[in-house]
Amino acid sequence: MTKISSLGYPRLGENREWKKLIESYWAKKISSEELAAGAKKLRLAFLKKQLDAGLDFVPVGDFSLYDHILDLSVQFNIIPKRFADQTIDIDLYFAIARGNKDNVASSMKKWFNTNYHYIVPEWSKQKPKLTNNRLLDLYLEAREVVGDKAKPVITGPITYVALSTGIEDFTAAVKSLLPLYKQIFTELTQAGASYIQVDEPIFVTDEGEKYLEAAKSVYAYFAKEIPQAKLIFQTYFEALIDAQILSQLPVAAFGLDFVHGLEENLEAIQSGVFKDKEIFAGLVDGRNIWASDFTRTSELLKELKANAAEIFIQPSCSLLHVPVTTKNETDLEPVLRHGLAFADEKLREIRLLAERLDGKENSAYDQHLAHFAALQAADFRNVELENLDHVATKRHSDYAKRRELQQERLHLPLLPTTTIGSFPQSQEIRKTRLAWKRGEISDQAYHDFINAEIERWIRIQEDLDLDVLVHGEFERVDMVEFFGQKLAGFTTTKWGWVQSYGSRAVKPPIIYGDVQHIEPITIKETVYAQSLTDRPVKGMLTGPITITNWSFERTDIPRDQLFNQIGLAIKDEIKLLEDAGIAIIQVDEAALREGLPLRKDKQKAYLDDAVHAFHIATSSVKDNTQIHTHMCYSKFDEIIDSIRALDADVISIETSRSHGDIIKSFETAVYPLGIGLGVYDIHSPRVPTKEEVVANIERPLRQLSPKQFWVNPDCGLKTRQEAETIAALKVLVAATKEVRQKLGK
């Protein structure tokens, strides 16, 4: 009998119970004991669901109260130096992630090329030690529900150190952790764990090449010290960087991604290097929501079975990256709904694939084939689109000329101040929006409410003395979902929530057909806001690459075609804003870096396609219309040439959590356009001091010209509270004025 496994399960819950539990603790509505009890209840419920789905190996340790990498850091005593004297408890845990009144939060980065963010471990002079064997506790708890099907899951030592900051000696850092992993693995094995999943995704990246020798020594150590431990060397998101070497590691099994690393991993299997190894085969896409192609996958399974000691079927990665279940999405068109698979449906898929591989006939398998075929044949997938031949893909003039014309129109001071776009979405805003959606208030009442919020925040911004204003985006639930509700070719779900960072959840729209602009999207609110003030109000749009990367995208056409379709749609909206007199239009590409392939040999094509789509969206504007863009947590030095090639008049980027480390990527000689480096961290509830913000402004001015520098927070302010937002922006404006005075302006 072919066995089935999973790598991890969504934490949020069907109705975001996890998010509500954690935020209740942050709001001091429940005690730490109630938080622990609530978390345990959710963990056990998730385990039971996976057991009932027929899993032979149920992941344990994937559940977290914030982030699984932060869990390891606290467990290993890798506590940032500024928090070092505090008691290790749940409040310290959250303080590292979110900051507190005394200390800034740790850096947050994207988990490889996904929209999940992890908290970066900070090493200094700490001596790693095991503060508690958390994984053992969770394993013993899980056994009460799933018995010997419990499979402990932990990020491996090489990936953990590779994702850390402050490492002076990589080898020494890894070596310092090995006794801790040994203790964890020994105690788990003694408690009955048949397999232990050790996640080492760093070995699907180019960076993994330099850690191959480390892999040999680390896993040889484990094989010698704890030979009884059956380790699964688990990777995902791409193919192994060097299957020839890694296949020789003395581990019981390898977890390989046959969705995103199909060609190379299949070639490695066919070469015979894994013929004596067990393979946990990732055959169902753990990152997208489309039903699997059973015909193709069943053929692939036969090929794998012929070239490995034993095959176990599982998703390609943790199901953390998809919503929980489609069962509540009753409003979706039936052909589309039956063509989707969220986490629970993916577990059903792997069971059906295993049964078919074992020769068992099942009507559910045949029904799945019929649903898949119906979606492929649906006529809503393809429509006639605008010809790209006559679309501008380059601005009329170069930046120097454009800047001169824009300054004549805008009359902005040195170091202009602005925000990224969104303002706090209060409980009142969310309740009013929900009442409108339920039909409890009229369209007019809802729009009057939104206009009142826009006016209130325009006045707040004027009182703060910000230079460039925004309307606040109170009508938008999310910067991508909002556009998905307005463009043809998209649909949105009721409960398709996915964790992004901490308790922050997003609801990605689904791109199921060809994309078109069919109605004004942002005009009404933007033009109304501009009518209230003499200061420029930015039009706020999301760019084609970010819309794609933060959606569940269709996979039946090449990605560059999808980028271009959305670029055309955004171009049409920009034209409406420009015709309405909006002088500054921001086209956010927050997720441009996120979609970057993990292998360098695949990156250029992606970046070229991304830049081209951005040009399609933005190049038709007049020279005196100022185009802004915004990007989130990224390794900007890797893509600086492409960022420059976007030719946006102003880019705003996160830098506060990076403590200014990325400024060198944007030295004047390298980046000659306008730039706003986020001067305080909006993901933390703390209000920065004026001294901190002054320092964050002055540091880049050592390398950047004041003429190209803008001052802004590092991201949108939607998730913050009103009082802290106003207080922080007061500091931002006061700090900017102080620096202007120092510059003699």
Kindly report the three-state secondary structure assignment for every residue of 28-97. Answer: CCCCHHHHHHHHHHHHHHHHHHHHHCCCCEEEECCCCCCCHHHHHHHHCCCCCHHHCCCCCCHHHHHHHH
Nearest to 547 by CA among 589, 517, 513: 589
Asked if residue 504 and residue 590 are part of one domain, the reply reads: yes
Nearest to 640 by CA among 622, 666, 676: 666
Asked if residue 472 and residue 346 are part of one domain, the reply reads: no
**pLDDT on residue 101:** 85
Positions of the chain with pLDDT under 70: 381-386, 633-635, 655-669, 745
**Could you tell me the two tokens for 429?**
């805003």
**Burial annotation 464-483 (CB, 10 A radius, 16+ → b, else e):** bebbbbbbbbbbbbbbbbbb
Alpha-carbon dihedral sign for residues 138, 142, 143, 148? negative
Backbone angles phi, psi at 308, to 5 degrees: -140, 160
**Could you tell me the two tokens for 671?**
């980046």
628 in a labelled binding site: no
> Is the residue at 713 inside a domain?
yes
Angle at 522 between CA 521 and CA 527, to 5 degrees: 140
Asked if residue 470 and residue 352 are part of one domain, the reply reads: no
Asked if residue 420 and residue 367 are part of one domain, the reply reads: no
Angle at 118 between CA 112 and CA 119, to 5 degrees: 135
Alpha-carbon dihedral sign for residues 47, 52, 53, 58? positive
455 in a labelled binding site: no
> Is the residue at 382 inside a domain?
no
The DSSP call for residue 711 is: E
Asked if residue 558 and residue 685 are part of one domain, the reply reads: yes
Domain with 75, as residue range(s), is 3-324+333-377
> Is the residue at 383 inside a domain?
no
- List, for residues 189-217, the tens digit of each pLDDT value: 999 999 999 999 999 999 999 999 999 99
> Is the residue at 572 inside a domain?
yes
Task: Find out whether 287 and 260 touch, Cβ atoms under 8 Å.
Answer: yes
Residue 37's identity, in one-letter code, is: A
The DSSP call for residue 207 is: G
Asked if residue 205 and residue 156 are part of one domain, the reply reads: yes
Backbone angles phi, psi at 402, to 5 degrees: -60, -40
Task: Find out whether 319 and 9 touch, Cβ atoms under 8 Å.
Answer: yes
**Could you tell me the two tokens for 167?**
């490492």
Helices (H) and strands (E) in the chain, counts: 25, 20
Distance separating alpha carbons of residues 112 and 109, to the nearest angstrom:
9
Task: Find out whether 395 and 619 touch, Cβ atoms under 8 Å.
Answer: yes
**Could you tell me the two tokens for 716?**
């949108």
Task: Find out whether 256 and 240 touch, Cβ atoms under 8 Å.
Answer: yes
Starting at the earlier edge strand, list the strands of the sheet with 3-4. 3-4, 310-315, 278-284, 253-257, 231-234, 196-199, 150-155, 58-60
**Could you tell me the two tokens for 615?**
């040009």
Point out the domain boundary residue: 310, 345, 377.
Answer: 377
Helix (H) or strand (E) holding 282: strand 278-284
Distance separating alpha carbons of residues 351 and 348, to the nearest angstrom:
5
**pLDDT on residue 327:** 95
Distance separating alpha carbons of residues 687 and 690, to the nearest angstrom:
9
329 in a labelled binding site: no
**pLDDT on residue 664:** 66
Asked if residue 283 and residue 148 are part of one domain, the reply reads: yes
Point out the domain boundary residue: 377, 412, 443.
Answer: 377
Asked if residue 646 and residue 708 are part of one domain, the reply reads: yes
> Is the residue at 676 inside a domain?
yes
Strands 626-631 and 584-588: parallel
Query: What is the CATH number for 661?
Result: 3.20.20.210
Task: Find out whether 306 and 275 touch, Cβ atoms under 8 Å.
Answer: no
696 in a labelled binding site: no
19 in a labelled binding site: yes
**Could you tell me the two tokens for 655?**
């830098």
Torsion, CA 113, CA 119, CA 124, CA 125, rounded to 10:
-120
* Close Cβ partners of 146 (under 8 Å, ≥ 6 residues apart): 47, 48, 50, 51, 58
115 in a labelled binding site: yes
Largest CA distance in the chain: 80
Task: Find out whether 416 and 468 touch, Cβ atoms under 8 Å.
Answer: yes
331 in a labelled binding site: no
Catalytic residues: 683
How far from the centroid of its chain's Cα atoms is residue 637's Cα?
Answer: 19
Asked if residue 428 and residue 344 are part of one domain, the reply reads: no
**Residue 741, burial from CB neighbour count under 10 angstroms (0-12, 13-18, 19+):** exposed
Strands 58-60 and 310-315: unpaired
**pLDDT on residue 580:** 97
Please report where in the chains the tokens 């180019």 appear, as a residue. Answer: 206
**Could you tell me the two tokens for 609?**
């396609």
Backbone angles phi, psi at 38, to 5 degrees: -65, -40
Angle at 717 between CA 437 and CA 537, to 5 degrees: 85
**Could you tell me the two tokens for 587?**
């086209």
Asked if residue 401 and residue 370 are part of one domain, the reply reads: no
Residue 138's identity, in one-letter code, is: L
Task: Find out whether 183 and 133 touch, Cβ atoms under 8 Å.
Answer: yes
**pLDDT on residue 130:** 95
**pLDDT on residue 384:** 66
Residue 107, SS3 per DSSP: coil
Asked if residue 297 and residue 228 are part of one domain, the reply reads: yes
Q: How many other CB atoms are there within 10 angstroms of residue 592's CB atom?
A: 27
Nearest to 115 by CA among 681, 633, 495: 633
525 in a labelled binding site: no
**Could you tell me the two tokens for 245?**
């070497």
Helix (H) or strand (E) holding 354: helix 343-357
Q: E strands of 406-565, at which residues?
A: 487-491, 498-501, 504-506, 510-517, 538-542
**Could you tell me the two tokens for 234?**
């688990």
How far from the centroid of its chain's Cα atoms is residue 48's Cα?
Answer: 27
Asked if residue 411 and residue 372 are part of one domain, the reply reads: no
Domain count, the chain: 2
Q: E strands of 106-230, at which residues?
A: 108-110, 117-119, 150-155, 196-199
Task: Find out whether 597 and 113 touch, Cβ atoms under 8 Å.
Answer: yes
> Is the residue at 287 inside a domain?
yes
408 in a labelled binding site: no
Nearest to 601 by CA among 209, 37, 41: 209
**Residue 304, burial from CB neighbour count under 10 angstroms (0-12, 13-18, 19+):** buried
Please report where in the chains the tokens 């390989």 appear, as a residue. Answer: 256
Task: Find out whether 22 and 65 touch, Cβ atoms under 8 Å.
Answer: yes
